[in-house]
Amino acid sequence: MKHRRDYRDQTQPSIIKEEIDAYRAIRALVNELVEFLTLTSEGDGRHPLTVYVSWLRLMVSQTTAEAVDSALNTGGVSVLPLVRTKELDFEVVILCGLVDGEFPAIFRSDAFLHAKRRRTESDRLREDRFLFYQALKCFRRHLYLIVPAHDGEIELVQSTFVDELRRVAEIEELEDDNTTLFSTERFLKHYGKFVWEQSEDREAPSLPSAIAPALRLIAHNVRVEKSRTVTHELPHYEGWLTHDLLSPSSRRALEERRQTVHSVSWLESYGQCPFQYFSHRLLSLNRIEEEEEEGLTEREKGNRLHKILFEFYDRRRDGPPISAYTDSEFETAVQELKQIAQKHLGQAHRGGLFWEIEMETLIGGHGRKGVLPAFLEAERARKLEAQPRYFEVEFGLSGGKEWTDARLGSDLPIPVGDVSLSGRIDRIEMGNGFFIVGDYKTGSVHPKIGDILEGRSLQLPIYLTVVEQLMKRHHVGEVRGIGGVYYVLREGGKADLGIGEQAYNGRGFKASSRNGQLVGNVQEIINLSVEYVNRYVRSISSGEFPLTSHDTQLVCRSCSFKKICRVGVIGEEDQ
C-alpha cells in the first residue's frame, strides 16, 4: 500500500485523468460491441475469445479519446490538432503537414445527406481557411511552417494556403547547414543549386563515379528549368516544337492539321491550355476517368437527357409553343415527357438505391419535382418571341442520324475563315428575323463573357455563324444570330444568358439590364471568336503548345495533366 501511495504522489493529476478517460472510452466500446452482438447474433452467439479481441481491436483502431494535454500548463511541448488551438496561444507554433490534398484536405461529399444539408466544397474550404487563420494568430514569438518534400518516392506539392500567404506576408525560408553534407541526396540538392547559380560547365570536385550520371542529369534538368523560367533558350522544353527537331513525318502530320476538320470543343481546349490539347489530342494520353458510380455518370446523364428532350420536342415541332398550353395540355405534356424519360433511362437501368435516387432527381417522386418537369415549367413561363424550332443539329459528322435534326443539319463541315468545323448544336430558337442557339448544361458552372473575350469559350459565338450558313444552305430566309442561352438541367435549373445583343432583350431571351453577358453588337464577338479559331489552328500546325497563359486557378483545377506540365512550379518561380 505504501508503494501505491508513492506512485500516486508522483503522478500528475492530468495523467491520471487521461488514463481514466481512456478506460471509460474502452468500456463504452465493449458495451457497444456486446449490444451489437446481442442484436445480430444467431443461436447462442458464442465465439472464441480471439474473435472478440479482433473485433475490439478493430473498433479501437477507428476510435479516438481526447486526452488532456499536460504540456499546456507545464510549459512543455503540446501536440494538438488545429481544431483544439482555438483561444490558445503559445510562444512558438510549428504547423506541420502543409501539403496539397492534406491541408486543405481533398473534398469528399457526403452522399447520404440531403443536398440542402450536404456540405459543399466551398463550405469545407472555408472551414480549413478559418483553421489556418486560427493557427496564424495563436503564436507570440515564432511560427514555423513545415512543408514535406516527399512521401517515400512520391513528390509532394506545397499547400495552396502557403502560396496565398506568400502573397500577403514575408516568409523567411530556413536554409540547411551548408557546411556539412551527410548524404548523397543532400549533396545532389546542393549541387543543383550550385549549377543554377553558377554554371554546369564549371569543373566539379573529384567524386565517386557512381554519382556521375546523376550529376549530368541534374545539370541538364537545371538548364531546362532555368530556360522555362528565366533564359528561354530551349523553346522545345516550353512546348514549341521547332521544325529542326522533328522528323519529316512529324512535320507533315502537324502541317496537315491545317486541313483537318476541327471540333469546336477541341479548339476550346487549345484556347484554355495548348499543352493540355497536345497531351490529349496529339499524344493521345488518357484523362483521368470518372470513378464508377452506382447511378449515371455525368456523361451518361447528359447523353440521355439530350435524347429525351430531342424526342419530346421533335413530336411538338409544328405545334403551338409550350408557353401557350392550357393547364390540361401542359399536364399531358409533363406526363409524356416522364414516359419518354422512363423509356430512355430504363435502357441504362442498374437498380439499387442510388439508381432510384437518380430517377427521382430527374423525373420526380416522393416530394421531389424532378429536373425535367421543372425544366418544362420554366419553358412554359418563358413567354418570348423566340421559340424552339430545331434540335440536335449536326454538321460535318458522319455518325448515326437517329437522334439528329434532319431539317437543318449538314454532312459537310462548315468553313469558318480558313478552318473547317464539325459539331452538334443542342437547339435553335427562331424569332422574327433572328435566332438564338441553346446549349443544355448539367453542370453548375458556365462560361462568362470574359471566357469568350479571352478565347477560352468559343461555342456560342461560333455556333451563331455556323447556323447562319446552315440557314442559307436550307433557304430558311434572312435571319441573323443575336445570342445564346445555357439551359441548366438541374433541380431548380434556369436559363442563363451566355451572350446576347442588348436590343433583343425581352424578345429572344430575358436578362437583367445589368447582366454582364449583354453586348451592343454580337457580330463583333463572333468575328473575334472566328479570329481565335483560325489563330489556334495556325498555331497547332506550327507546333506551338506552351503552357496556359490564363489564370491557373480556372484552367488547371480539374486538368489530368497538371502534374506532368509542372505549371505550379513555373508559377512559383516566376513570382
Does residue 223 share a domain with residue 161?
Answer: no
Q: Is residue 74 part of a domain?
A: no
**Greater confidence, 499 or 149?**
499
Domain boundary among 124, 143, 168: 168
When the pLDDT of each residue in the chain is averaged and rounded to a whole number, the result is 82
Q: What is the pLDDT of residue 3?
A: 39
Does residue 543 share a domain with residue 401?
Answer: yes
Q: Is residue 273 part of a domain?
A: yes
**505-557 per-position pLDDT tens digit:** 999 999 988 889 999 999 999 999 999 999 999 999 999 999 888 888 778 87
**471-512 per-position pLDDT tens digit:** 999 988 889 999 999 998 887 778 899 999 999 999 999 998
Q: Is residue 173 part of a domain?
A: no
Given a contact cutoff of 8 angstroms between Cβ atoms, the answer to whether 545 and 278 are in contact is yes
Could you give the CA distance from residue 342 to residue 359 in angstroms, rounded to a whole number? 8
Mean pLDDT over residues 280-300, rounded? 70
Q: Is the pLDDT of residue 7 over 50?
A: no
- For the ranges 4-13, 50-59, 558-567, the lowest mean pLDDT is seen at 4-13
Does residue 302 share a domain with residue 277?
Answer: no
Q: Is the pLDDT of residue 574 over 50?
A: no
Does residue 467 share a domain with residue 408?
Answer: yes
Does residue 546 share a domain with residue 567?
Answer: yes
Q: Is residue 406 part of a domain?
A: yes
Structural domain range at position 201? 185-233
Does residue 333 share a domain with residue 277?
Answer: no
Q: Which long-range contacts (CB under 8 A, 24 or more apart) does 34-39 make?
A: none
Q: What is the pLDDT of residue 182?
A: 61
Does residue 389 share a domain with residue 374?
Answer: no
- φ/ψ region of 294 (left if φ > 0, alpha if ψ in -120 to 50, else beta) reads alpha
Given a contact cutoff of 8 angstroms between Cβ atoms, the answer to whether 278 and 240 are in contact is no
Q: What is the pLDDT of residue 203?
A: 55
Percent over 70 (pLDDT), the chain: 83
**268-289 per-position pLDDT tens digit:** 999 999 999 999 888 888 765 5
Q: What CATH number is given to the structural domain containing 407?
A: 3.90.320
**35-69 per-position pLDDT tens digit:** 777 776 666 667 788 878 888 887 777 666 555 55
Q: Is residue 353 part of a domain?
A: yes
Q: Is residue 505 part of a domain?
A: yes
Does residue 559 share a domain with residue 476?
Answer: yes
Given a contact cutoff of 8 angstroms between Cβ atoms, the answer to whether 390 and 435 are in contact is no
**Greater confidence, 58 or 180?**
58
Does residue 560 share a domain with residue 437?
Answer: yes
Domain boundary among 362, 383, 404: 383
Could you give the CA distance from residue 431 to residue 388 in angstroms, rounded to a whole number? 9
Does residue 285 share a domain with residue 317?
Answer: no
Does residue 564 share a domain with residue 417?
Answer: yes
**501 residue type, one letter:** E
**Greater confidence, 36 or 324?**
324
Mean pLDDT over residues 257-276, rounded? 93
Q: Is the pTM higher than 0.75?
A: no
Domain boundary among 383, 404, 433: 383
Does residue 390 share a domain with residue 412?
Answer: yes
Given a contact cutoff of 8 angstroms between Cβ atoms, the answer to whether 533 and 549 are in contact is no
**194 residue type, one letter:** F
Domain tally for the chain? 5
Q: Is residue 247 part of a domain?
A: no
Could you give the CA distance from residue 368 to residue 120 in angstroms, rounded to a whole number? 21
Secondary structure (DSSP) of 49-76: HHHHHHHHHHHHHT-------THHHHTS
Q: What is the pLDDT of residue 339?
A: 92
Q: What is the pLDDT of residue 294?
A: 55
Q: What is the pLDDT of residue 359?
A: 84
Q: Is residue 92 part of a domain?
A: yes
Q: Is the pLDDT of residue 319 over 60?
A: yes
Given a contact cutoff of 8 angstroms between Cβ atoms, the answer to whether 487 and 441 are in contact is yes
**325-352 per-position pLDDT tens digit:** 999 999 999 999 999 998 888 876 666 6
Q: What is the pLDDT of residue 180?
A: 64
Could you give the CA distance from residue 479 to residue 527 in angstroms, rounded to a whole number? 17
